[in-house]
Amino acid sequence: MTLAQRLWIYQAERFPLVKTVPLLACFSAASITISAVLSDRSLPDLSAYIVGFLLVFFLFFQLRVADEVKDGEDDAKYRPERPIPRGLVTLRLIVLLGVVTIPLGIVLALLHGAGLIWLLLLTWAWLGAMTFEFGVPVWLKARPVLYLLSHMAIMPLIDLMLTGIEWLPHGSAAPALWLFIALSFSNGCVLEIGRKLWAVENERVGVDTYSGLWGPKRAANIWLVFVGISAGLVIGVGIAAGFAIAFCLISLSGLLVCSFAARRYAAAPTVKAEKQMDTLAGLWVFGCYATAGFLPLVLGGLP
- Tell whether 157 and 198 lie within a shared domain: no
Q: How many CB atoms lie within 10 A of CB 253?
A: 12
Distance separating alpha carbons of residues 58 and 47, to the nearest angstrom:
17
- For residues 279 and 137, membership in a common domain is answered with no
Same domain (yes/no): 253, 161:
no
pLDDT tens per residue across span 57-114: 999 999 999 999 988 888 898 899 999 999 999 999 999 999 999 999 999 999 999 9
How many domains does the chain contain in total? 2
- Residues belonging to the chain: 303
- What tens digit of pLDDT does each residue of 15-58 get? 999 999 999 999 999 999 999 999 999 999 999 999 999 999 99
Shared-domain flag, residues 135 and 205: no
Tell me if 3 is assigned to some domain.
no
121 and 31 together in one domain = yes
pLDDT of residue 299 exceeding 90? no
Give tens-digit pLDDT for 126-140. 999 998 889 898 898
- 99 and 225 together in one domain: no
C-alpha dihedral over 36, 41, 46, 49, to 10 degrees?
-10
In a domain? residue 69: yes
Identify the CATH number of the domain in which residue 111 sits: 1.10.357
pLDDT of 303 > 80? The answer is no
Cβ–Cβ under 8 Å, residues 261 and 277: yes
Q: Is 2 inside a domain boundary?
A: no
The parent domain of residue 253 ranges over 175-303
pLDDT in tens, 133-179: 898 988 988 888 999 999 999 999 999 999 999 999 999 999 999 99
With respect to residue 60, please indicate whether it lies within any of the assigned structural domains: yes
Q: Tell me, yes or no, whether 114 lies in a domain.
A: yes
The 10s digit of each residue's pLDDT in 224-249 is 999 999 999 999 999 999 999 999 99
> How far from 282 is each of 190, 202, 224, 276, CA to CA, in Å?
8, 20, 14, 10
Question: pLDDT at position 302, please?
Answer: 64
22 plus 167 within the same structural domain = yes
Contact 234, 291 (CB under 8 A): yes
255 & 131 share domain: no
* Co-location of 70 and 115 in the same domain: yes
Examine residue 267 and state whether it is found in any structural domain, yes or no.
yes
Alpha-carbon torsion, ordered 61, 63, 69, 74, to 10 deg: -110
Q: Looking at the structure, do residues 188 and 276 belong to the same domain, yes or no?
A: yes
Residues sharing a CB contact under 8 Å with residue 263, sequence separation 6 or more, in sequence order: 220
pLDDT at 44: 95
Question: C-alpha distances in angstroms, 247 versus 35, 250, 251?
Answer: 17, 5, 6
- Looking at the structure, tell me whether residues 160 and 280 fall in a common domain: no
Question: What pTM was estimated for this model as a whole?
Answer: 0.92
Q: Report if residue 1 sits inside a domain.
A: no
Whether 189 and 119 share a structural domain? no
